[in-house]
Amino acid sequence: MPKTKVFVTRLIPEKGLTLIRDFCDADIWQDELPPPREMIFERVRGVDGLVSLLTDKIDGEVMDAAPHLKVISNMAVGVDNVDLAAATTRKLPVGNTPGVLTDATADMAFALMTSAARRIVEGEKYVRNGKWKTWHPQLLLGADFVGATLGIIGFGRIGKAVAKRAKGFDLRVIYYDPSVPSAFDAVPVDLDALLRESDFVSLHVPLTEETRHLVNAETLNKMKPNAILVNTSRGPVVDLQDLYDALKSKRIFAAALDVTEPEPLPADSPLLELDNCLIVPHLGSASKYTRDMMSLLAAQNLIAGLKGERLPHCVNPQVYD
């Protein structure tokens, strides 16, 4: 009996791939770069299932190019690259990979926060560039943690995991998330209070029309001059031009970004000229175990969808109504 055909838009970890190969006839995109849009159209034509990544725009046009499609399995917790309304209209379940990347992403937020606060990257460049002549009492002074306030915007799984880590650093934790009215170890506040009071602001919201450019000139102007902004959510949550202006004029102390708009950040981005802006290439979930587990969940969602079963992690359960 022929196996079901699926398209996997990149070489994902073997953990999930083995499962997919056992169950399906898998066409796996081998390049380092994502498949161009035209190529996605071509490759999805005869498939029953699609495993996509956050770099692939999966909209109604792609869905219509795949008339046999039964399931879209996105190997990410964020699904802003998939047009969920279009999928729901077409009764296509969309899977994601929540939970397994919570700790890795919270670890990254903390790594960025501590690196920006203690100017680790600047220090490292200083040494490599042969500038280290002596110990100096005023050299590369950074920020302290004990007693400082961490403001978390978006208090879901990852926001909460960041709060847990903050306790070990004796930070006071406040958060803004209208969907979480109270929490055991953090104080809910409104957005203005959070911006006004926080020494560290960490973003953990999904990208939606409401959160797009949530951090802009107006919100940055409400932050403390010593504030450090950390973004491990989605690039477009921050208006990078406004952030550049705030960092250049020292309106805030520093920013540490795991995500940018666009990705990759162009090599001539003015942000790259700033010492108080640390940028890494969307590595939040990039630990071996986490990526293995993400690939496994993606495979499980895919296979459930192909069998006509409910996806273990479905972001548009309305398709089952």
- Residue 291 annotated in active site: no
x-or-dash string of contact with ligand DGY, 292-321, rule CB under 6 A: ------------------------------
CB under 6 A: which stretch of 19-27, 169-177, 277-285, 297-305 binds ligand DGY? 277-285
* Residue choice 284, 303, 313, 315 for contact with ligand DGY (CB under 6 A): 284
* Residue choice 51, 101, 265, 298 for contact with ligand DGY (CB under 6 A): 101
Nearest approach, Cβ of residue 311 and ligand DGY (Å): 16
The active-site residue out of 10, 43, 165, 234 is: 234
Let me know: does 42 contact 63? Beta carbons within 8 Å. Answer: no
Interface with ligand DGY (CB under 6 A), residue total 8
DSSP tag of 75: S
Tell how far CA 131 is from the center of its chain. 35
Instruction: Find the binding residues for ligand DGY in span 26-65 (CB under 6 A).
Output: 54
Give me 290's structure tokens. 């986490």
Question: ω into residue 181 within 30 of 0, thus cis?
Answer: no
Q: Decide if residue 76 touches ligand DGY (CB under 6 A).
A: yes
Would you say 101 or 203 has its CB closer to ligand DGY?
A: 101
Would you say 54 or 94 has its CB closer to ligand DGY?
A: 54
Let me know: does 79 contact 94? Beta carbons within 8 Å. Answer: yes
The active-site residue out of 263, 273, 309, 310 is: 263
Residues 6+ apart with CB under 8 A from 209: none
* Complete edge-to-edge strand list for the sheet that includes strand 187-188: 187-188, 172-176, 149-153, 200-203, 228-231, 254-257, 277-279
Q: C-alpha distances in angstroms, 136 versus 93, 116, 118, 123?
A: 59, 20, 15, 13
Cα–Cα distance between 299 and 297 in angstroms, integer?
A: 5
Q: Decide if residue 203 touches ligand DGY (CB under 6 A).
A: no
Let me know: does 143 contact 115? Beta carbons within 8 Å. Answer: no
Would you say 35 or 78 has its CB closer to ligand DGY?
A: 78
* Residue choice 285, 295, 300, 316 for contact with ligand DGY (CB under 6 A): 285
Q: Decide if residue 82 touches ligand DGY (CB under 6 A).
A: no
- Residue 234 annotated in active site: yes
Give me 112's structure tokens. 């960025």
Would you say 282 or 313 has its CB closer to ligand DGY?
A: 282
Would you say 78 or 159 has its CB closer to ligand DGY?
A: 78
Residues 6+ apart with CB under 8 A from 204: 109, 152, 153, 154, 155, 156, 158, 159, 162, 232, 233
**Single-letter residue type at 227:** A
Nearest approach, Cβ of residue 126 and ligand DGY (Å): 30
- Residue 263 annotated in active site: yes
Nearest approach, Cβ of residue 206 and ligand DGY (Å): 8
Site residues for ligand DGY per CB under 6 A? 54, 76-78, 101, 282, 284-285
Active site positions, annotated: 234, 263, 282
